Each structure stands twice: as structure tokens, then as C-alpha cells.
């Protein structure tokens, strides 16, 4: 949950670009657009090898009867169970779709609320001295708070319904997003604000042209982190007294000693996490196009 | 401090009108007792006529960049008086492009109105970058980036163009090309130009007047009436160069006279 991970180095690399000798650039650029994409595609293909090998080994533990499938159900069994849960649901677990929907709904509500609050607070703290003094100390304290230690407190405060779960997800989403967006705004080169003054930009123009795009790389790092922590918070929240959702399914499966069902729920959580991460990376590729061109050159 | 922004002075392109008028400008940083800090301006007077190119030279800390920043409105801690025209543009030593905006959008930044992009395209054509409109700044060379910065400064039709060592980071050959470009642009638009530079040759190549700052005051002035472009080993320039270098303390004065 550490928010100090720096995946996006803020605007390095002006150096090498500046060093290139002036030359007819269009040729250089066409070269740049074509080659990196095919390179990325090739790398993407390679990246599937090790997970697939792991799946095969996992399946082989079952084929050679090395591990009891009740302890570690093989992938084939997980897939079959998932299919049965979806197509022939039994009352004990409910249908996979219903569980998925309940979980996604909780996640979406928590993430939307937490994300919106984080953005508002980070903008207030990042853009005004008063906002900074008022908000940032509190945010830095909340950051250190062990989130899951709040679960029993939340039960006392908010009961065992939807609310404590949504709040937990919201908090988990808000903290890394706030920290990174705030840091992103703070790290913007002061010389760009000078430029804004020289060009006579209004407050709004400055926000849209300098602050937000300048903070974007770090904000996207924050977004990916907050997705990770928010999914984690959802899993924890749902195992505390939930009657619907993937967490409730895990809870039931525990009672019935159905490890395969637990694995299905875990797999779905994982896929959801990967999916949201892929969405952010797609946004990243689009919003960071100005930088990928550099990687190409 | 009284600052007069002379908005009524829009059409002051004739050489008789003053573009910049500085009187008794004083700027001190972090005074320690009675000793002023570095980069001070000390009761400075300076006038730049409309369409005139004035080069400000001086050692580091002589106050030349401070003066430029005050005139650009980036430093409000000075006392004294100055007048600048309504339209002032600045180009910095670093091109200061927004890396996340394409070249054309960088130039159009801060422009208003429907035709802002077309205006930006015209300016980019003037600096010879018509085929880079959609390029990202990180794909540009140093000289190209600085040309974009010039286009961005010119696109607002400034009456006063402030250049803060804009070619300092460029290689020698690119710098000479940029000098040509600045002179062409100046000939076409006739803004008054205040150029801060370390480079005596640059000052001699471009300026009508070279002003040498030392300790926040004008220590020496040199008028150059040669037509441009100038050949840098023109006998007049050789003499003026030696004199300026001597004033800067590079040569001993005795050796020159």
C-alpha cells in the first residue's frame, strides 16, 4: 500500500531529445511510431509464457496426484466449478453472476466516492496554501492508519450492511490516489507557472493546461495503486458478514469445505483487478502519448 | 513601487516612441545588514526605443536577468518606476514548452478566439516549422524547441520582446542560424527587443545598443550602427568587442588602449 512507489519518473529525458542534431524530423517520427508498437506486441506475447507454464504445472500436480484436489483444486476443476456456479447455481452459494454483480457494485460505489473525494482534496491541498495546511497533515495521518484495523470499528459505527464495506473500499481507494495526485501537483516545475503568467493564462487555463496534465503521470500511478488497495479492501470487507458478493461466497464455501468455490471467487477477484488495471494502462497509453513517442525515438 | 502598464501604447512601432522606460529601479535580495545580496539593481535608468534591439550583458549576478524578470512581470519586489507596452512576450533560455501539448497547441497557448490554431500555424511557418505542427516537444531538437518558443512569443504580436539568454543552451552553429531568424522576425514585426546574453559576440551581432550592467547599474554602453547581418570580424566590431571584453574584466584595459 505504499504510495511512494515511483513508477513514472517526472519528465526526465529532455536531455537526450535536446541532444539530437537538427535534421528533417518527419522521417524520424514515422520511424518512431511504427517500430515501438511491434516491439511492445512481441514483448506482450512473451509475457504470457510464465503464467501459462505455472498453470500447466498446477494442472500436472493433479494429473500425477501430487496434491489433494480438496486442498488445491487444479485449474480444470476451478473452471468446471465456475461454469456450474454460473449455469447451475445451487442455493448454498448463489449464482456466480449475482455474486459478481454485488461485488462490482460495492466496488464501484466505494471507488467512485473515494476517488472523487481524493481528487477534490488533492486539488485543494495542491493548489492553495490554506488547503495544504488544512488537508495534508490529516491525509498524511490517515495514510498511516492501518485500514483493516478499522473493520471492527466500522461494524460498531455503520453496522454490517452495505455502508461499512463501501466506506472501507472508498478509503482504500482515496489514500493512494490523494497522495500521488498531491505529489504530482507539487512536483510541477515552477517555471511552467511562470510561463503561465507570462502568457496571461487565467486560473482555469492554468489548471487545464499546466496543473492537471503536469500531475497526470503521477496521478495515474496513484490510480493503479488505489485500484489495487481498493480490491483488497473489498475482499476483506466482504468476508465480514456479507450475505451477497464474492466474499460471501467464499464465506459459505469455507463452511462447506469447498475449496474449489473459494478458488473460483479468488480467480474472479484477480480477473477484476487485472481488468481495471488494463483499463488504467489504456488510459495511460493515451494520456502519455507525448512520452511514448520519446521512448520510440 | 509604481508600475505603469501603458495599454494605450499599442501602435508604438515607430522608432521614436519609447518601448521601455525604467527610472530609479532598485531590487535587493535578502539584505544582510547594509550589504545587499546578489543580483541587485541599484537605482537603474534605462530606455529602449520602439523597434530598438538592446543587448544586456554583464557577469553572472550583475542584475541583467533580474531586470528582465521585473519587466516581464515575474518579480514584483522592486522599487522605482518602469513602463512597458501592453503586449510583452518572453522567451526563456529553456524553451519551456508544455511537453504534453503538441507544437501547434504550445504556440496557441493563451491565445483566444476561433482562429487561434491558424494563427499559431502562421507563426510556426515563420520560424520554419510548418511540418512540425503535430509533433510532440520531446521529439524536437534543441534548436527546433527554441524556434517554437520564439513562435509562441511572436504569435501575440509583442511590442516588446524579452529574450533571456534564449540561445545559451544551443550549439554554436544552431545559435548562428537562430540569430539570422531573430533578425528576420524582427525586420518583419519590429518589436523592441531586450536581449539578455552572456555572449559578447551575440550582442554585437544583433543589437543596436549593447548595455553592460555591473553591480546593478549601467557601467558602459556601446552603440552599433552597422547594418545587419554583420560579419563578426568587421573592424568596427573587433574594436567594440575588445572594449566590451575589457569592461567585463576579461582583458586588462591597458592592453586595449
Mean pLDDT of A2-8: 41
pLDDT higher than 60, residue A27: no
pLDDT value for B36 = 53
Whether pTM > 0.90 for this model: the answer is no
Residue A84 lies inside a defined structural domain of this protein: yes
Considering just the CA atoms, what is the radius of gyration of chain B in Å? 18
- Looking at the partner chain, which of B96, B132, B138 has a beta carbon nearest the beta carbon of A293? B138
Nearest to B138 among A17, A191, A198 (CB): A17
Neighbouring-strand partners of residue B220: B212
Q: Specify the DSSP element, H or E, that contains B247.
A: helix B235-247
How many domains is chain A built from?
Answer: 1
The pLDDT value given to residue B33 = 60
Q: How many CB pairs under 8 A join A and B?
A: 84
A92 band by pLDDT with thresholds 50, 70 and 90: confident
Kindly report the CATH number assigned to the domain that includes residue A281. 1.10.3720.10
- The per-residue pLDDT for A47 is 87
Contacts of B109 in chain A (CB under 8 A): 199, 201, 209
φ and ψ of B22, to 5 deg: -120, 130
Does the distance separating the beta carbons of B131 and A11 come in below 8 Å? no
In a domain, A29, yes or no: no
In a domain, A51, yes or no: no
Query: What is the mean predicted confidence (pLDDT) over A75-85?
Result: 96
Flag if A297 and B143 touch (Cβ within 8 Å): no
Pure H helices in chain A: 14-19, 25-46, 49-63, 75-87, 96-127, 129-144, 151-158, 162-186, 190-198, 203-206, 212-238, 246-255, 259-287, 289-296
Instruction: Mark yes or no for CB contact B137/A290 under 8 Å.
Output: yes
Task: Taking residues A178-204, report their average pLDDT.
Answer: 95
φ/ψ of B141, rounded to 5, equals -80, 170
In a domain, A61, yes or no: no
Question: Looking at the complex, does the CB of residue A13 fall below 8 Å from at least one CB of chain B?
Answer: yes
Tell me if A71 is assigned to some domain: no
- Positions in chain B whose pLDDT score sits under 70: 1-16, 31-39, 252-257
> Residue B179 belongs to what H/E stretch?
helix B172-189
Q: Is residue A224 part of a domain?
A: yes
Helix (H) / strand (E) containing B177? helix B172-189
> Model confidence over A242-261: pLDDT tens digits?
789 999 999 999 999 999 99
- Percent over 70 (pLDDT), chain A: 84
Output the pLDDT for position B37: 56
What is residue A128's predicted lDDT score, i.e. its pLDDT?
93
Residues 178 to 237 of B: which have CB under 8 A from any A CB?
Answer: none
Residues of B in contact with A216 (CB under 8 A): 100
- Better-scored residue on pLDDT, A174 or B250: A174
Q: Which domain holds residue A269?
A: 80-294
Arithmetic mean of pLDDT, A259-279: 95
- Among A51-65, A257-271, A281-295, the minimum mean pLDDT is found in A281-295
**Is residue A52 a part of any domain in this protein?**
no
Could you tell me if residue A215 is inside a domain?
Answer: yes
Residue A293 pLDDT: 54
Amino acid at each position: 500500500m505504499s504510495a511512494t512507489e515511483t513508477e513514472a519518473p517526472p519528465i526526465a529525458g529532455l536531455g537526450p531529445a535536446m541532444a539530437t542534431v537538427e535534421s528533417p524530423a518527419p522521417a524520424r517520427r514515422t520511424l518512431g511510431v511504427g517500430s515501438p508498437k511491434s516491439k511492445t506486441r512481441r514483448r506482450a506475447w512473451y509475457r504470457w509464457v510464465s503464467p501459462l507454464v505455472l498453470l500447466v504445472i498446477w494442472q500436472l500436480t493433479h494429473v500425477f496426484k501430487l496434491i489433494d484436489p480438496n486442498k488445491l483444486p487444479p485449474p480444470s476443476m476451478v473452471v468446471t466449478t465456475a461454469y456450474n456456479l454460473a449455469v447451475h447455481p445451487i442455493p448454498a452459494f448463489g449464482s456466480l453472476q449475482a455474486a459478481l454483480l454485488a461485488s462490482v457494485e460495492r466496488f464501484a460505489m466505494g471507488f467512485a466516492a473515494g476517488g472523487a473525494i481524493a481528487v477534490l482534496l488533492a486539488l485543494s491541498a495542491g493548489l492553495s496554501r490554506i488547503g495544504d495546511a488544512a488537508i495534508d497533515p490529516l491525509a498524511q495521518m490517515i495514510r498511516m492508519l492501518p485500514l483493516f484495523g478499522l473493520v471492527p470499528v466500522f461494524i460498531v459505527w455503520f453496522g454490517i450492511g452495505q455502508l461499512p464495506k463501501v466506506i472501507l473500499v472508498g478509503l482504500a481507494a482515496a489514500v493512494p490516489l490523494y497522495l500521488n495526485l498531491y505529489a504530482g501537483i507539487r512536483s510541477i516545475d515552477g517555471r511552467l507557472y511562470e510561463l503561465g503568467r507570462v502568457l496571461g493564462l487565467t486560473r482555469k487555463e492554468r489548471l487545464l493546461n499546466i496543473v492537471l496534465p503536469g500531475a497526470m503521470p503521477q496521478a495515474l500511478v496513484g490510480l493503479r495503486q488505489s485500484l489495487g488497495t481498493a480490491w483488497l479492501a473489498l475482499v476483506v470487507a466482504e468476508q465480514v458478514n456479507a450475505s451477497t458478493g464474492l466474499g460471501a461466497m467464499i464465506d459459505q464455501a469455507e463452511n462447506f469445505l469447498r475449496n474449489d468455490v473459494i478458488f473460483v471467487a479468488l480467480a474472479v477477484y484477480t480477473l477484476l483487478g487485472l481488468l481495471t488495471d488494463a483499463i488504467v494502462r489504456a488510459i495511460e497509453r493515451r494520456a502519455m502519448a507525448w512520452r511514448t513517442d520519446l521512448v520510440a525515438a | 513601487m509604481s508600475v505603469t502598464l501603458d495599454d494605450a501604447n499599442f501602435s508604438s512601432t515607430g522608432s521614436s516612441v519609447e518601448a521601455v522606460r525604467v527610472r530609479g529601479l532598485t531590487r535587493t535580495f535578502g539584505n544582510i545588514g547594509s550589504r545587499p545580496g546578489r543580483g541587485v539593481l541599484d537605482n537603474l535608468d534605462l530606455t529602449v526605443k520602439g523597434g530598438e534591439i538592446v543587448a544586456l550583458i554583464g557577469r553572472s549576478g550583475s542584475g541583467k536577468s533580474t531586470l528582465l524578470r521585473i519587466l516581464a512581470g515575474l518579480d514584483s519586489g522592486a522599487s522605482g518606476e518602469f513602463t512597458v507596452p501592453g503586449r510583452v512576450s518572453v522567451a526563456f533560455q529553456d524553451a519551456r514548452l508544455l511537453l504534453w501539448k503538441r507544437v501547434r497547441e504550445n504556440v496557441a497557448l493563451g491565445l483566444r478566439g476561433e482562429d487561434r490554431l491558424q494563427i499559431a500555424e502562421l507563426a510556426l511557418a515563420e520560424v520554419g516549422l510548418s511540418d512540425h505542427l503535430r509533433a510532440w516537444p520531446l521529439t524536437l531538437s534543441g534548436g527546433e524547441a527554441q524556434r517554437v518558443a520564439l513562435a509562441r512569443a511572436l504569435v501575440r504580436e509583442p511590442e516588446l520582446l524579452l529574450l533571456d539568454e534564449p540561445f545559451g543552451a544551443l550549439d554554436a552553429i544552431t545559435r548562428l542560424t537562430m540569430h539570422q531568424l531573430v533578425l528576420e522576425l524582427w525586420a518583419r514585426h519590429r518589436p523592441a527587443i531586450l536581449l539578455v546574453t552572456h555572449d559578447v559576440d551575440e550582442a554585437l551581432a544583433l543589437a543596436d545598443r549593447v548595455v553592460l550592467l555591473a553591480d546593478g547599474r549601467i557601467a558602459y554602453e556601446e552603440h552599433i550602427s552597422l547594418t545587419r547581418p554583420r560579419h563578426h570580424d568587421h573592424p568596427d566590431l573587433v574594436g567594440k568587442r575588445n572594449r566590451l571584453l575589457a569592461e567585463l574584466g576579461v582583458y586588462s584595459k591597458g592592453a586595449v588602449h
